[in-house]
C-alpha cells in the first residue's frame, strides 16, 4: 500500500509540474450528464468495482509482493490519462493507460484501479467529476479493460507475438473507451433530427480525429512498459498467469 501511494503521488506531481494551469475536463465533465443517466452509469459500474475488489484481494493474498506492481499500473494509468487533447465541449481525448493493468491483472482488477484513477483526477485535478464518475468509470475502467484483455488473450491463443498482442489489446481498449463515451453522450444528448444514431456518429467522428493516433501511442507505450516489467520484475510477472509463458521463454 505504501508503494502504491508513492507511485500515485509521483505521477500526480509530474502532471502538476508539466500542466500547472487548468485544462479541459477528463472524459465527461461534472454536471454534463442528466441526473438520470448519471445514476444509471453509477449503477452499471458498481458491480464491476465490487468484483474487482474481490479479485485484487485474492491476488494480493496469494502473493503480497504484487501490491507494488498494482501501484505501478495504477500510476501508469494516472499519468498518461492526464495528458489530454481538447475534443468535444464537455469532454476530451487522451490515452487511458488501462490496457497494461488489464493484461497483467485482468479486467476485474482494473475496474478498481481505473475508478480510483478517475476519482483522484476528479478531486485533485478537477478532471471529470463525481456525478459523472460512474459513466467515466464504465467507459475507461470497465469497457476498455475488458476489450484489452479479451483481444490480448485471443491473439496469444492464436500464437501472435507478445508485443503485437499487447499493442493491439491496449490500442483497441483505448478506442473502445471512446466509443462507449460517444454512446453515453449520444444517449444523454440525442440529435433532434437523427436521434441516438446521428448523435453517436457526430461524437465518435470528432473523437476519432484525436483518439486514433493516441491509441497507437498508447499501444506502443504499453509494449514498452510490459517489456520493462518482464525484464526487471521477473518473480511478480511469473506469478501472473497471462505472462508466465513469456517470462520463461
Q: Are strands 92-94 and 84-86 parallel, antiparallel or unpaired?
A: antiparallel
d(CA 71, CA 67): 6
d(CA 217, CA 176): 15
pLDDT at 126: 76
**C-alpha of 107 from chain center:** 10
Range of weakest confidence among 21-30, 109-118, 212-221 = 21-30
Q: pTM (2 decimals)?
A: 0.82
Helix and strand numbers, DSSP H then E, in the chain: 11, 2
Q: What is the pLDDT of residues 50-107, one digit of tens each?
A: 999 999 999 888 888 888 889 999 999 998 988 776 655 445 578 999 999 999 999 9
pLDDT at 129: 86
The answer, yes or no, to whether residue 199 has pLDDT greater than 70, is yes
Is residue 170 within a helix (H) or strand (E), and if so which, with residue range? Answer: helix 162-188
Q: What is the pLDDT of residues 20-37, one digit of tens each?
A: 333 333 478 888 899 999
Complete domains list, the chain, with CATH: 22-248 (1.10.1760.20)
Amino acid at each position: 500500500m505504501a508503494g502504491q501511494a508513492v507511485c500515485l503521488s509521483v505521477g500526480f506531481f509530474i502532471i502538476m509540474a508539466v500542466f500547472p494551469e487548468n485544462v479541459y475536463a477528463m472524459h465527461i465533465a461534472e454536471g454534463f450528464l442528466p441526473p438520470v443517466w448519471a445514476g444509471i452509469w453509477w449503477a452499471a459500474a458498481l458491480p464491476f468495482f465490487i468484483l474487482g475488489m474481490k479479485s485484487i484481494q485474492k491476488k494480493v493474498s496469494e502473493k503480497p509482493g504484487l501490491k507494488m506492481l498494482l501501484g505501478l499500473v495504477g500510476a501508469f494509468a494516472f499519468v498518461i490519462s492526464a495528458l489530454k487533447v481538447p475534443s468535444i465541449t464537455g469532454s476530451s481525448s487522451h490515452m487511458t493507460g488501462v490496457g497494461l493493468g488489464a493484461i497483467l491483472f485482468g479486467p476485474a482488477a482494473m475496474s478498481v484501479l481505473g475508478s480510483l484513477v478517475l476519482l483522484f483526477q476528479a478531486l485533485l485535478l478537477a478532471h471529470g467529476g463525481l456525478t459523472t464518475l460512474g459513466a467515466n468509470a464504465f467507459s475507461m475502467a470497465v469497457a476498455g479493460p475488458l476489450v484489452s484483455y479479451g483481444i490480448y488473450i485471443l491473439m496469444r491463443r492464436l500464437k501472435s507475438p507478445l508485443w503485437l498482442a499487447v499493442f493491439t489489446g491496449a490500442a483497441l481498449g483505448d478506442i473502445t473507451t471512446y466509443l462507449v463515451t460517444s454512446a453515453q453522450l449520444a444517449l444523454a444528448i440525442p440529435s433532434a433530427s437523427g436521434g441516438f444514431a446521428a448523435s453517436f456518429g457526430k461524437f465518435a467522428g470528432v473523437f476519432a480525429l484525436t483518439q486514433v493516433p493516441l491509441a497507437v501511442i498508447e499501444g506502443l507505450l504499453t509494449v514498452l512498459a510490459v517489456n520493462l516489467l518482464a525484464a526487471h520484475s521477473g518473480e511478480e510477472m511469473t506469478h501472473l498467469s497471462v505472462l508466465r509463458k513469456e517470462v520463461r521463454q
